[in-house]
Amino acid sequence: MLIEEEVKKVDVLVIGAGLIGCAVAYGLSRSGFRVALVDKHEIGSGASSANFGRIQIQDSEPGEMLDLIMRSASMFPSLVRDLGIDVEYERSPALLVAESDAEWDALREMQEIKRRQGLDVRFVNKNELYALEPYLDLRHVAGATLSPDEARLNPLLYTRALARRSREMGALILENSPVIGFDVSQGRLRGAHISRGGMDIEIRCGAAVICAGAWSMSIGAMVGLEIPVKFVIGEALVTEPVPRLIWNYFSLASFFETAHSGERAVSACCVQTEAGNLLLGEASQVKTGRELPALESLKGGNLHFAVTAVSRDMSRFFPVMGRTSVIRMWRTFAPFTDDYRPVLGASGKVEGLFVCSGFKSTVVVTPVVGELVRDLITKGQRSIPSGITHQPLNL
């Protein structure tokens, strides 16, 4: 299968068609760049197809990152309108729960800093928690904070809508077309090679952006680039539809630290869909290594730990959930960095090669990430606030 001659050269090649890659392609296309978006598999086939679609705000760290997250979250209404299809975007308040008095003291201190920065976050005592979540077992809770302005959407519909709108604005989208190498001359990126239909095809480009999530490390290695993005295998459950049991998104204040602790762990979080299904998470295990197993490997393996551990942990907070039945589950490779900040910057090895990967919360940054990458390409690293990038940025 050949690519037409006029589209073999583009301004920017975006590698990875998940949430971040599709958002970057969308943002760059809106800014007038001629974009090619390529992926080894299909659009949204990695972690972007296996998440709760949360637009999370209150778990962001204070400072420049929180400013960015609040600005990005405010852009969703106009972005969703521009996409032109229903991605099930809706308001969905979130509770961040502390289990111990010490954890509650630390959470209040941190959230007070964010309140002074402009975040609408409210402290909730046990009496107020009962009114918000009547099925929550308060014996395991010391306190919580409520973020009323958070939202959610359908990540599958959203990822494909971003890709579709990018294509309408002129982007070339190539699925099942893995990058197999880069063309570098005198330290400058000239293009990349993809495998498509059994053919080695070169796409000439002025710049390329690695947005491949957990696969970023292996792509960077093609040019000797060490990208400090690790990954966990995350597992979550979906129950049968049940009457309303939970009214807010529920997660523990220790969620991210537990999920990336290095051991098999459970970090409790839950939300109920409009259809009544409970989405329960998450079991996780940190993995190391440059090469990820094939996506197909996620379909096998022993799922007993995830089913039993997640169900047991969530039933501790919501005993009534113990009577629900799990109807399916998912597993995925989810990227992260040690300081929970993304790797967002230019390669020091290859001029014209950039990295945008490893975001702590992915959906919430999608409206603004295209602007960030546009400025990174046109204005350089100094356009990116140092407080939002992984430190040190050893590219």
**Environment class of 214 (CB within 10 Å of its CB; exposed 0-12, middle 13-18, buried 19+):** buried
Nearest of 200, 196, 186, 192 to residue 219 by alpha carbon: 192
pLDDT at 118 over 70: yes
Contact 239, 326 (CB under 8 A): yes
Contact 195, 180 (CB under 8 A): yes
Q: pLDDT tens for residues 211-244?
A: 999 899 999 999 999 898 888 888 888 999 999 9
The two structure tokens encoding residue 100: 């111990």
Query: What's the rounded Cα separation, in Å, for the pair 287 and 233?
Result: 7
Per-residue pLDDT, 84? 95
Name every residue whose Cβ is closer than 8 Å to that of residue 282 and which is 6 or more positions away in sequence.
Answer: 234, 235, 236, 259, 266, 267, 269, 310
Per-residue pLDDT, 95? 96
**Cα Rg of the chain (Å, integer):** 21
Q: pLDDT tens for residues 56-67?
A: 999 899 999 999
List the domains of the chain with CATH numbers. 5-54+156-229+339-388 (3.50.50.60), 91-151+230-336 (3.30.9.10)
* Arithmetic mean of pLDDT over the chain: 88
pLDDT at 260 over 50: no
Secondary structure (3-state) at 133: coil
Return the C-alpha torsion angle 299, 304, 305, 311, nearest 10.
110
Per-residue pLDDT, 8? 79
Query: What's the rounded Cα separation, in Å, for the pair 270 and 10?
Result: 42
Rounded to two decimals, the pTM is: 0.91
Q: pLDDT tens for residues 278-317?
A: 999 876 666 555 555 555 555 555 555 667 778 888 899 9
The two structure tokens encoding residue 365: 């940054």
Per-residue pLDDT, 286? 62
Mean pLDDT of 48-63: 90
Task: Give the H or E element holding residue 282.
Answer: strand 278-287
* Residue-level length of the chain: 395
Query: What's the rounded Cα separation, in Å, for the pair 175 and 192?
Result: 15
Secondary structure (3-state) at 241: coil
The two structure tokens encoding residue 128: 């107020």
Per-residue pLDDT, 293? 52
pLDDT at 364 over 70: yes
Nearest of 237, 180, 178, 209 to residue 355 by alpha carbon: 209
C-alpha distances in Å from residue 364, one per residue of 79, 150, 273, 369, 391 = 12, 9, 19, 10, 21
Per-residue pLDDT, 313? 84
Per-residue pLDDT, 282? 77
More confident residue, 254 or 12: 12
Per-residue pLDDT, 367? 97
pLDDT at 7 over 50: no
Query: What's the rounded Cα separation, in Å, for the pair 144 and 75?
Result: 27
Q: pLDDT tens for residues 174-194?
A: 999 999 999 999 999 999 999
pLDDT at 389 over 50: yes
The answer to which of 52-56, 111-115, 252-256, 325-329 has the lowest mean pLDDT is 252-256
Per-residue pLDDT, 188? 96
Per-residue pLDDT, 340? 83
Tokens 């096998």 label which residue? Answer: 300
Contact 36, 171 (CB under 8 A): yes
Sign of torsion, CA 12 17 20 23?
positive
Mean pLDDT of 102-124: 95
What proportions of the chain, in percent to the nearest 5, are helix, strand and coil? 35, 30, 35
Separation of CA 23 from chain center: 11
Mean pLDDT of 261-271: 72
Mean pLDDT of 358-373: 93
Q: Sorting pLDDT into bands at 50, 70 and 90, what band is 2?
A: very low
More confident residue, 296 or 108: 108
Mean pLDDT of 311-325: 90
Q: Residues of the chain with pLDDT > 70: what percent? A: 88
Contact 130, 136 (CB under 8 A): yes
The answer to which of 52-56, 130-134, 249-253, 386-390 has the lowest mean pLDDT is 386-390
Return the half-sphere exposure (C-beta side, CA atoms, 13 A cut-off) of residue 133.
Answer: 30
Q: What single DSSP character describes residue 86?
A: -
Name every residue whose Cβ is closer than 8 Å to that of residue 360 and which is 6 or more positions away in sequence.
Answer: 59, 60, 256, 336, 340, 341, 342
pLDDT at 258 over 60: no
Tokens 């209040």 label which residue? Answer: 108
Secondary structure (3-state) at 88: coil
Query: What's the rounded Cα separation, in Å, for the pair 285 and 20?
Result: 23
